[in-house]
Amino acid sequence: METRLLEYMESNHMDAFYITKQANIRYISRYMGGDAFLLITKACYYILTDPRCTEQAEKECPEYKVVNWRPFGSVAACIGSIVKKDKLGSVAFEEDHVNYNQWAEMKKEIPAELIGTSGIIDSYRTIKTPEEIQYLKNACDLASRAYEMLLKDVRVGITEKELESKLSYYMVTLGGDTKPNFNLCISGTRTSLLHGIPSTKSIEPGDLVLLDFGIEYRGYTSDMTRVFVVGKATRKQKEVYDYALRMLETGLSQIHDGVKAKDVCHAVEEVIRGTEYEKYYYSSIGHGIGLFVHESPFLRPNSEDIIRENNVMAVEPGIFIPGWGGIHLEDDILVTKDGYVNLTTASRELFEL
């Protein structure tokens, strides 16, 4: 159990904390399934689920009291019953993860003061424990190895979907748990789509191919990006790639405990400033990774985040040119006191396959 949460509740006079974000549920309880919610009180830790998940919850969370919320009609009504039984005066909740209908149901069913909070548990997740760091190292290693295996499958005529499927297969076969929902493989002019999804488009001679992908290991997600060319790279492909590589290397060189996220961004911007590609540069260049693929700290020009030792981050500056294509490279790193350790071992080379 995360003792900081109990201390936060004590200092803010909260009798209970209702947790709905899946990543935060995993972080606090280590429950790896779905269809569950947590209600943390000083006297008891509750995991609220339905009968399909009871067995898993009991096995993974032996210190929790497992409650089937279905007989109550709603999770809010289940919490209301616990509030009455345990005589709880206040319930904190994650207000950034509750919609209007859920809020109305909570007000109706929970006879206690409702206290909205935002980002409390998320902030605990930014500094990784040794166990979390090892899980992330494993996830990064699996992704790197799978990428290197995939290169032998690249050929003219294979589709984006086929390549992405092979990549996912390799990552799971090597020991990954499941792929995140963001994995993409795009080619040709489609590489300028920041979050394009794999299509039935066939890879053509001269195509630039961009892979942005990761794998979960014990719930922790890697996130890397690599590019290559099918055939010979053009002068422009090489030039844009060189800028992307220089931006990544510059960004990484700025990383250390205590650096401001916006200062990293400003250093990267200087690489592209005054060039013909400046207007195609996307200024959000990285983020933390962990139980969720995008978490604090964020590398943005207006960010107030401070990078701290044992943050694990993805750094990914890029250039996206509509109608031509895009290139960005992405490495996952562990922040140290004086710098970083690169967890992404796959080559960044612009392979001509």
CB-based burial label for 101 (10 Å; 0-12, 13-18, 19+): exposed
- Indicate the residue type of 42: K
Whether 53 contacts 31, CB under 8 Å: no
Q: Which residues contact 281 (CB under 8 A, 6 or more apart)?
A: 247, 269, 272, 317, 318, 319
Pairing mode of beta strands 90-94, 113-117? parallel
Place of tokens 């001269």: 206
Residue with tokens 């006297």, as numbered in its chain: 43
What's the mean pLDDT when you consider all of the chain? Answer: 96
Which among 266, 279, 268, 351 is positioned nearest to 320, based on CA atoms? Answer: 279
pLDDT in tens, 310-331: 999 999 999 999 999 999 999 9
Residue 194: what pLDDT? 85
Q: Where are the alpha helices (DSSP H) in the chain?
A: 3-11, 22-29, 54-60, 75-86, 100-109, 120-124, 130-150, 160-173, 235-253, 261-272
CA 225 centroid distance within chain:
14
Q: Is the pLDDT of residue 353 over 90?
A: yes
Amino acid 263 reads D
Cβ-Cβ contacts under 8 Å for 139 (sequence gap 6 or more): 176, 214, 215, 216, 217, 220, 221, 222
* Model confidence at 61: pLDDT above 80: yes
Give percent of the chain above pLDDT 90: 95
Whether pTM exceeds 0.85: yes
Binning pLDDT at 50, 70 and 90, where does residue 195 land?
confident
- The pLDDT tens digits for 32-44 are 988 899 999 999 9
Contact assessment for residue 341 and residue 140, using Cβ atoms and an 8 Å cutoff: no
Residue 1, pLDDT score:
55
Residue 226 has pLDDT above 60, yes or no: yes
The pLDDT, as a whole number, for residue 41 is: 97
pLDDT at residue 182, as a whole number: 74
Helical (H) or strand (E) element with 113: strand 113-117
pLDDT tens, position by position, 7-26:
999 999 999 999 999 999 99
